[in-house]
Amino acid sequence: MGWCLATRLVLVALLAPRVWLQFVPTTGQVEVDCLGSLARLKLNSGYFQHKYIAFAAIDKFGRAWPLDAVQATKCGYTISQDVWGNVELRASLIGCYAHLVDDQSSTLNIQIKTGRDPDLHDAAVLNVPVSCSYGPWQPREIVSVRRNVPPIPDWFLQDQPEDRVPQDQPEDWESAFTEVQAGVPSIWQIVFHMDSGKKAMLVEEAHAVGYGVNTTDTRIVLRASYNASEAQKLEVSGVPFSTVRSSTYYKQRWMLLMVDTAVACPIDGVTYTEDTIVWTIPKGIPPLLAGVGTIRDLQVEMGINLKKLPARDRERQGYALASDKEFIVLKIPIGAPDGSYKSDVVDGKLMTTYQIKPFLEHLWEDEKRGITKHTILKEISTPLRPVPVTITDYTNVSLQLFNVTIGSFLPDVELVSVTVGDSGPLPLPKAEKMGYKIYETKHPNGSRDCVLQVPFASPGVEKEYVPDNMRNYTTTPILGFVVIPQRKPFDIPVPLSVLVRDAVLPKAEGFCDDQALYLVVKRGNVDQDWLPFVGNTLLNQETAQSLGYTLQDNGTHLALRVPKHAALVLYEEVSSLGIVATFQLQLKDQLGQTEMIDFAVSCNFSPKDLIDCQPNGTVVISAVKLLGFPDMDPSGLVLKDRRCRPASATERGATFIFTVNSCGTTRKFENATMIYENEVLYFLPGQAAPVYQLKCACQYFVGAAVLLQYTPVEVPSPSILPGVGVLALSLKLARDQSYRDFYLDTEYPVTRYLREPLYFQVELLHSQDAQLELFLEDCWATSSSDRNSYPQWNVVVDSCENTEDSHQTIFHHVPQGSVPFPMHLKRFEVKMFTFMLNGQALQGQIYFHCSAVICDSSYPSSDVLCARRCIPRRQRMGRSTDSNSDLQGYVSSGAIVLGRRNHT
C-alpha cells in the first residue's frame, strides 16, 4: 500500500465479503494514450484525490486479474505516481490479457476500483477499454525499463520466430541442442546460459520464478526482472548491464523452432554535473551482437514520458542528443519542464531530487537478425540536495499578530502538526483552537508556501521585559511535516520575535507608622513571572512569616508590612532626629533570577528605641549596623573607653550594658537636667579616626533623682554649705617645669619641637572653697579647636595616664604653699610628638582639651564621677547628694605648632 498527497494507491485490493460496487463513467476521469508499443492510462488527480485505488486486468472471459507487483512484472504492466499526485498505468500492447489482432491492433480492458477506505467498501468501479495500433514490428524489439523508485524494473522482449534454423548459429544456440533433443515435444521450453552452466525450464516453471513468457501468432515474448536469478552482470565501456542469455524453443517431430532470446539492458550510465544530467549508452553490446560481423546504424531518437521529441523541440527545451560509432549521449538540463522535483527526508532534513523519465530508441541492422529496435526507458533521479527553507516575517505590531510565510514546498510535502511549547505535537485543528491560524498559498508552478499567523496573546507566546518600556514577544512553534507517500517526517522550527513598546512596569507606594514600614506594589503587565525577594530570600507566605512580615498578594497588588526592627531592615543613618530605616524589595525574573526592578521605603523612627536609661544608672545601648558600612563587624564596636566592648553582637548590631560611672561616660548639667554622654565607635585597623560614631545620652531630672540612704548617725555639727554659682576652669601652658610663667593668649600658636615637654596646668578659678577638689577625667589632642572633632589622641584616660602611648603622661604634684588652694590645680607633662593619620604625619596646629570634675571631699558618700581608679581613695570621698554642688566642665588650650629644626 502506498501513500501520496493526492491519491492513496493500492496495487491489489482484497475484497471483503460484503463489497458494494458502483460503476461510474470514465469520461474525464481517465486519459488513455497510445505511445508506441505501450498504452498509458493517466488518472485524474482531482477525482481520485484522497482515495484508495486498485487495478485489475479483464481477460476475454470477463474475469478480473488483480495487478500486484509480481503480476505486473510478468505481464508487462507498470504503476507509478508522480510528485503531483498523478497516478499512471502503463501496459504493453502484447502483455497478459491483451488481445492482439494481425500484430497491429491490440485491445485491453482495465478495471479501476476506488474508495475512501482500504477495504474498498462501497467502491466505485471504472472499466476502461483500451484500443491501440502499433506497427510495423521489427524482427527483434527489446524494451528496457529501469525504475529508480521503487526499483522494480521490467524487461520486455519481443522476437519474431524464424522459419528455419540458420546455418551460422550463435554459440548459445549450438550449446542448447543437447537440451532441445532431450526436451518434451509440443511444449515451449527455455534454456538459460550462465557462466556456471545451463539451466532448462518449462514455461510453467519460468512463470513460477517470475518470468513472463507468452506468444502471439507471430511473436515470442519474454519478460524478466533485472534481478532475476538467471541474470548476470556485464560491464560494457564502463556502463554496467544486466543480461539474460536464453534460447527459447518449440519441438515437434517434423520441426524444431528455436529463438535466440538473449537480452541486455543498462543498469546505469548516468552522471551528474551541477546543472546537467548526462546519460551514456554504449552501442557495442556483446550479448545482442553474437555472431554479427557488420552493423549499420539506422536511427537514434529520444523522448520524454514516452513521447518522442523532434530535433527542433529538443533544442528549444535544452536537450542535447549525440550519437557516434561507440556511444549514444543524452544531456538533460536539471529542472527541464518535462521533469519534476521530489522531496525526501534524510536525518530529519528536507531534501529534494529532480526526476525525469527519458527514453532512447536505437535502431540498427545486422546481417544475422535484420533490424533490431532497442528502446530504453529510464527514470532518473538526481542526487539529493538540501532544500533551503525561507521564513519571511510579515509581523504586524498594530494588529498584535505574528504573520510569517514558510516555503516553498513541493506538493508532496504536507503539514500535519504544530508543536507549541511543551504541549507536544498538536494536530492542525487543535492548534487552530489555540489561536494558531495556518493555511497554504499556491504558486503557478505548483509549489506551495505555508502561512502561519499567531496572535500575541496566544498560548506559547512568551513576553519578556527589556529596557525602555519594551516587551519582547517570542515564540518558536515547530511545524511538523511529512513527505508522501512514504510519510517521512521532518520538523521546521519557526523562531518569532518582535519588540513592542507596551510595557507597564509595576509601581509601588510606601508609608510608615510608629511600628512598621509598609510597601504596596501594583503589578504591571511585565511582571507575571517576577518573584519578590528581600536580599537573596524569596518571599512567600512561609518565609514572610518566619521573618515577621505580613504578606498579602491578590494577583494585582502585593502588600507588605515589615516591623521596623525586623530582619533585613537596613539602617542608613542614626542622629538626634531619628533612625532612618529602609526596607528594599526586589522583583527578580523567575528563570534566571535576574533583578528586574527594586522598590524601597525609608522612614524616620525615634532613636529612643536604641537606648535604655535605667533609674539605677545602668545604660543599655543598641548600636545598629548602618547601610554605609557593609564590612563592619559589630563585635568590634567600642565605647569611648575602648576597653568597653559589646555585651552581645550579631550581624545586624551590638548591645552595650554599662553604668554611667564607667566606659568614659561624661556628665554635664543643663538647668535642672543631669546629662550622661558616651559614644559608640568603630575603628578600622591602623586608623585613629573612627568610621562609625553613635552619640548617646541619658537625661535625669534633678528633682526626680532621689538617693535613699539610711544609717544611724549622730546629728552633724553645724557647717556652712556652699551655695549655687558658676565655677570657671582654665588650661594653661607653662614655659617650664616650675609652672611660674605661662604663655599668654596673645602668644598662641606656640611652637614646640619633637620630644620637647609640654607643661599643662588645669585650674579651678574664682573659688575660695577649700572643700572642693579638681580632678581630670580625660585629656586628649585634636587637629582643630573643636574638642569633639576627629581624629583624637588620648593623653589622660579616666583620670589615668594613657598606657597605650610610648611616652606616657606624667602628673606633677602641686606643692603646699605654692598656691592658696593646691587641690584646685592639676599639672601634667606631655612630650611633643608627631601625630600620625592613616600612616601620614599630620601637618598643622594641635589643640589640647581636658574634661574635669569638681568634687566635694567633705562628704564621704559614694559619688560615681569621683569614684575613679586613678583618684586616691582618700580623695574619693563621695559628694553631696545635692546635685547643685556637682560640677563638671571642659577646657581647651590654644594652638601648638610642631616646629622643624634646621640641621647644618
Q: Around Cβ 825, how many Cβ atoms within 10 Å?
A: 18
List the alpha helices (DSSP H) in 527-675: 541-547
Nearest to 838 by CA among 708, 690, 725: 690
DSSP per position, 583-618: EEEEEEETTT--EEEEEEEEEEE-GGGGEEE-TTSE
Position with higher pLDDT, 320 vs 221: 320
Torsion of CA 511, 517, 523, 529, to 10 degrees: 160
Q: How far apart are CA 749 and CA 511, in angstroms?
A: 54
Residue 837 CA to residue 308 CA, distance in Å, equals: 108
Read out DSSP for 354-398?
A: EEE-EEEEEEEEETTTEEEEEEEEE-EEPPPEE---EEEE--BTT
Ordered DSSP codes for 468-490: TTEEEEEE--EEEEEETTTTEEE
- Give the pLDDT score at 884: 38
164: confidence class by pLDDT, cuts 50, 70, 90? very low
Q: What is the DSSP track for 124-185?
A: EEEEEEEEEE--PPPSEEEEEEE-SSS---EEEEEEPPPSS--SS--HHHHHHHHHHHHSPT
How far is 77 from 88, CA to CA, in rounded Å?
A: 10
Kindly report which listed range (94-108, 363-377, 531-545) carries the lowest average pLDDT score: 94-108
- Region 242-250: mean pLDDT is 87
Residue 1 has pLDDT above 60, yes or no: no
At 543, list the grid cell. 518565609
Across 654-681, average pLDDT:
90
Q: Check pLDDT > 90 for residue 789.
A: no
Tell whether the model's pLDDT for residue 524 goes beyond 50.
yes
Q: What is the DSSP secondary-structure string of 754-806?
A: TT-EEEEEEEEES---TTEEEEEEEEEEESSS-TT-SSEEEEEETTEE-TTSS
Flag whether pLDDT at 310 surpasses 70. Answer: yes
Asked if 516 and 559 touch (Cβ cutoff 8 Å), the reply is no
Q: Model confidence over 731-788: pLDDT tens digits?
A: 999 999 999 999 998 899 999 888 889 999 999 988 888 888 888 888 999 888 888 8
Quick one: pLDDT band at residue 663, thresholds 50, 70, 90?
very high
Residues 230/244, Cβ–Cβ less than 8 Å: yes
pLDDT tens, position by position, 54-64: 999 999 889 99
Q: Which of 841, 755, 749, 846 is nearest to 792 (CA)?
A: 846
Q: In this structure, which amino acid lies at residue 432? A: E
CA distance 625 to 616: 28
In this predicted structure, the answer to whether residue 877 has a pLDDT above a threshold of 80 is: no
Give pLDDT, residue 257: 80
- The more confident residue out of 147 and 211 is 211
| Cβ neighbours for 880, distance < 8 A, ≥ 6 positions apart | 721, 856, 859, 861, 886
Query: Are 211 and 202 a contacting pair, CB within 8 Å?
Result: no
| Distance, CA of 178 to CA of 680 (rounded, Å) | 129
How many secondary structure helices (H) and strands (E) does the chain include? 7, 72
Does the structure show a pLDDT above 50 at 861?
Answer: no
Q: Is residue 862 scored above 50 in pLDDT? A: no
420, 431, 462, 479, 842 from 424: Cα distances, Å: 7, 11, 17, 11, 76
Q: State what percent of residues in the chain have pLDDT above 70.
A: 84
51-65, 84-98, 859-873 — which is least confidently predicted? 859-873
In sequence order, which ranges of 634-731 are alpha helices (DSSP H)?
Answer: none
Backbone angles phi, psi at 142, to 5 degrees: -120, 130
Q: Is 103 left (phi over 0), alpha (psi -120 to 50) or beta?
A: left
Instruction: Find cell 513541493 and name the residue.
Output: 410
Q: What is the pLDDT of residue 112?
A: 92
The cell for 548 is: 515577621
- In a 3-state reduction of DSSP, which class is residue 650? coil
Helix (H) / strand (E) containing 449: strand 448-455
Q: In this structure, which amino acid lies at residue 495?
A: P
**Mean pLDDT of all residues belonging to the chain:** 83
CA angle, 706 then 708 then 710, to 5°: 160
The tens digit of pLDDT for each residue in 22-81 reads 555 556 789 999 988 899 999 987 788 778 899 999 998 899 999 888 888 888 898 887
Q: Sorting pLDDT into bands at 50, 70 and 90, what band is 371?
A: very high
Distance of CA 37 to the CA centre of its chain: 63
Range with the poorest average pLDDT among 366-370, 615-619, 720-724: 720-724
pLDDT attached to residue 882: 38
pLDDT per residue over 586-626, tens digit each?
A: 999 888 788 889 999 999 888 888 899 998 889 999 999 88
Smallest Cα–Cα separation from 259: which of 196, 176, 327?
A: 176
Q: Among all chains, which residue has been given the C-alpha cell 542526487?
A: 383
Q: What is the dihedral sign for C-alpha 558, 562, 566, 568?
A: positive
Q: What is the pLDDT, as a whole number, of residue 868?
A: 59
Is residue 707's pLDDT more than 60? no
Q: 904 vs 485, which has greater pLDDT?
A: 485
Closest CA to 868 of 878, 860, 858: 878
Neighbouring C-beta atoms of residue 852, cutoff 10 Å: 23
Backbone conformation region of residue 630, classed left if phi is above 0, alpha if psi is from -120 to 50, else beta? alpha
Quick: pLDDT tens for 537-561. Answer: 999 999 999 999 999 999 899 999 9
pLDDT digits (tens, 9 = 90+) for 106-149: 999 999 998 888 888 888 899 999 999 988 889 899 999 876 54
* pLDDT at position 635: 93
pLDDT of 805 reads: 72
CA within 13 Å, CB half, 815: 6
Domains of the chain: 21-134 (2.60.40), 154-381 (no CATH), 388-500 (2.60.40), 507-605 (2.60.40), 608-704 (2.60.40.3210), 728-898 (2.60.40.4100)
β-pair type (77-81, 87-92): antiparallel
